[in-house]
Amino acid sequence: MNRFKGAKISTVINELDREYLLSTQDIDFKFYQNERDFVVDEIPMEEFLGRGNYLILKVQKVELTTWDMIAVFAELLNVHAQKIGYAGLKDKHATTTQYISLESKHERALNNFQHKQIKILEKTRHSHSIRMGDLAGNRFSINLYELDAMDAGKIEKVARKIAKSGLPNYFGYQRFGRDAGSIEQAREMIKGELFIEDAKLKSFLISVYQSYYFNEWLRERVMFSKESGSSEFALLSGDVFVAKDGKLSTPKLIHSKEFAAKKVVPTGLLCGRDTFRAKYDAAEIEKKYDDAFLQEKGARREALVYPSDIECKYVKKETMLQLSFTMPKGAYATVFLESIAGKNYSAKDVKQEKSRKK
């Protein structure tokens, strides 16, 4: 098998475009990733018990990565960072709230905790530590600028349409690093042209490689849907679906009724070993973005997600629309904004040197 057959790796940088089914392409707006205009609140998977051997902190951080925040607590408590549990990584250029876990013996050491970029909002107890993936989703509140009231209304309308029909679940631009340089590194490592000793970096580059292929597969499926004249995601025989309980279907039939009822969602391949592959018509597209020689474990990722609890508030004097919505874990808020705008963003597009004044 040719590892790169059909994937057109030679033009990788130009192929990062993400295609969407619904948009407001005639409306241009701006948003900025900073502490005022990009706010994220983590939604835990379960209710904490209020008792147990683990201390749960609800923490708000500003202009820090999750790893930076964990490093602060690790140094203060003189523990290894791996002893601090967390459910997911949150944006750096934002105000974000998430939950972390520590052994309860450290509670007293945190009584007078002070940090200019970190606040402990709440403390409680639980029976076990927080593990990666232990979240239901994230609540976003993002300010969109340079809009009049009519444009704000159009954006709300298309946002609700996307929430109803489904948002292509691309990995966002953040996944691939500035100027997509991490993709080139991943390619070289996989081909054996670059040796990576650091285990974390190696794991990250593998995930970048898998994410790139998933995005390219999803783009082709979206283009196929649009060429079929549909504003909704077109199903194919042999698609692998996932149900709400996380169980994958045998890739045989098209589950159109269940899909319409949102009981199942089609999935795309994160290439690697030990995972289902599509069959029949779906396989003809999927195999172009597969790498059967990759030794790392593969997985399936939902092709679509459904933003929920959409709220819109227009502020006329600032020509600003505050758009709030909830996304399931692993989904990117910036992908939702891209779909609304009908364009792709990069880190350069949303960077602002200084936060807007409150």
**Residue 85 confidence (pLDDT) above 80:** yes
Once rounded to an integer, what is the mean pLDDT over residues 79-106? 94
pTM of the model: 0.89
Asked if 9-33+142-305 and 46-133 have one fold, the answer is: yes
pLDDT category at 299 given cuts 50, 70, 90 is: very high
Rounded to an integer, what distance in angstroms lies between the CA atom of residue 82 and that of residue 267? 32
pLDDT category at 184 given cuts 50, 70, 90 is: confident
Percentage with pLDDT > 90 across the chain: 71
pLDDT category at 180 given cuts 50, 70, 90 is: low
**Residue 252 confidence (pLDDT) above 80:** no
Which pLDDT score is estimated for 356? 53
pLDDT category at 117 given cuts 50, 70, 90 is: very high
pLDDT category at 286 given cuts 50, 70, 90 is: very high
Mean pLDDT of the chain: 89
**Other beta carbons within 10 Å of 187:** 18
Q: Tell me the domain boundaries of the chain.
A: 9-33+142-305, 46-133
Type of residue at 41: D
Segment 310-333, tens digit of pLDDT: 999 999 999 999 999 999 999 999
Specify the range with the lowest mean pLDDT, choosing from 122-126, 146-150, 248-252: 248-252
Segment 216-227, tens digit of pLDDT: 999 999 999 999
Segment 143-169, tens digit of pLDDT: 999 999 999 999 999 999 999 999 999
In a 13 Å sphere around the CA of 5, the CA atoms on its Cβ side amount to 12
Specify the range with the lowest mean pLDDT, choosing from 109-113, 125-129, 181-185, 232-236: 181-185
Could you tell me which residues come within 8 angstroms of residue 325 by beta carbon, excluding any fewer than 6 positions away? 139, 140, 159, 163, 307, 308, 309, 310, 311, 333, 336
Which pLDDT score is estimated for 12? 39
Q: Which two tokens stand for residue 229?
A: 């004249």
Q: Which residue has the higher pLDDT, 151 or 231?
A: 151
Once rounded to an integer, what is the mean pLDDT over residues 245-257? 84
Specify the range with the lowest mean pLDDT, choosing from 16-20, 275-279, 326-330, 351-355: 351-355
Write out the catalytic residue numbers: 91
Could you tell me which residues come within 8 angstroms of residue 157 by beta carbon, excluding any fewer than 6 positions away? none
Return the CA Rg of the chain: 21
pLDDT category at 10 given cuts 50, 70, 90 is: very low
Task: Decide: residue 63, CB within 10 A, 0-12 exposed, 13-18 middle, 19+ buried.
Answer: middle
pLDDT category at 279 given cuts 50, 70, 90 is: very high
Which pLDDT score is estimated for 253? 74
φ, ψ dihedrals at 12, nearest 5°: -60, -40
Which pLDDT score is estimated for 27? 85
pLDDT category at 4 given cuts 50, 70, 90 is: very low
Once rounded to an integer, what is the mean pLDDT over residues 118-139? 96
CATH number at 46-133: 3.30.2350.20
pLDDT category at 178 given cuts 50, 70, 90 is: low
Distances (CA, A) of 299 to 55, 211, 248: 32, 11, 11
Type of residue at 252: K
Specify the range with the lowest mean pLDDT, choosing from 37-41, 213-217, 339-343: 339-343
DSSP for 132-196, written as a single string: TT-EEEEEEEEEEES--HHHHHHHHHHHHHHHHH-EE-PPPGGGG-GGGHHHHHHHHHHTTSS--
Specify the CATH number for 9-33+142-305; select among 3.40.50, 3.30.2350, 1.25.40, 3.40.1130: 3.30.2350
